[in-house]
Amino acid sequence: MGYLDSTSVTVDAVLTKKGREILARGGNLEITHFSATDTGVDYTLWNPDHPSGSAFYGEAIENLPNFEASVHSEYTLRNRLVTLNQNTIAIPALEVNGLNGTNLHTFEDGDANGIKPVITLKGYSAPVGGTNIGGLIFVIYDPTVVHSTAQTAKQLSGTTQQFLREQDMPNAVQYTIAGSGPDFTVPVMPDTTTLTSGRETSGLFIHPATGAYVFVRFVNNITKLARNVLSSAGTKG
């Protein structure tokens, strides 16, 4: 990822991984819409005490460099600028239910079958004339701790790999969660190939249409499987 000089107007366009996939299958892009984002904008730089007056309150913000175009919208378009109904009183958000903590789930012995948390999109409805609000993207930072059977699992690659290495999640996996919403059920299973307590990783749910996202934390404390527990119980006494 790099920066673009904000002293000149630059249009930098790249094909996303989805766009390249469509072209590889012989399809046409037929682009009809675009999405804007303010990811990378630091609004804390707004300065109402600027000595030059109100016209310069946002000077520091306007002089911020822009990110180069990225092929991964799940990172660069997380804070999308969206059009909402006039009576909207809150921006869309994702809520997670079905965990045993607040945006946290701890797997203990006996939990090898996993969980099915429900992610609900709040404060957003389908566009006029439509019924589908779009699916979710689910990113697991370390699939050796937990994984999912949700459809379309793929390793993140390309320009994102540098970001993944710097964030210490080089093996991150992305899943596509289909559905019409607003509720999405996502299966999450703990890894049982390594029976070591205290393994942790993060998960990120994203609603691409709005940019709404939520982080969750998973802890894997499984040290024995059910068959091992029963076997041990049978030998006592």
Q: What is the CATH number of the domain that holds 166?
A: 2.60.40
Assess whether 66 and 94 both reside in one domain: no
Band (180; pLDDT cuts 50, 70, 90): confident
DSSP states of the chain = --EE-TTS--------HHHHHHHHTT---------EE-TT--GGG--TT-TT-GGGTTHHHHTSPEEPP-S-HHHHTSSEE----TT--S--EEEEES-SBTTEEEE-TT-TT-B--EEEEES--PPTT------EEEEES-TTTEE---S--EE--TTHHHHHHHTT-TT-EEEEE--SSSEEE--BEE--SS--TTEEEEEEEEETTTTEEEEEEEEE---S-HHHHHHHHHT--
Assess whether 199 and 94 both reside in one domain: yes
Assess whether 95 and 193 both reside in one domain: yes
Domain count for the chain: 2
Asked if the structure places residue 237 within a domain, the reply is: no
Of the chain, the percentage scoring pLDDT greater than 70 comes to 75
Assess whether 104 and 54 both reside in one domain: no
Asked if the structure places residue 111 within a domain, the reply is: yes
| Per-residue model confidence (pLDDT) at position 166 | 46
Assess whether 34 and 147 both reside in one domain: no
pTM of the model: 0.66
pLDDT for 164 beyond 60: no
Assess whether 63 and 88 both reside in one domain: no
Question: Which domain covers residue 101, as residue numbers?
Answer: 83-220
Band (130; pLDDT cuts 50, 70, 90): low
Assess whether 128 and 178 both reside in one domain: yes
Assess whether 99 and 61 both reside in one domain: no
Asked if the structure places residue 102 within a domain, the reply is: yes
Assess whether 191 and 212 both reside in one domain: yes
The last residue of one of the domains, among 50, 71, 92, is: 71
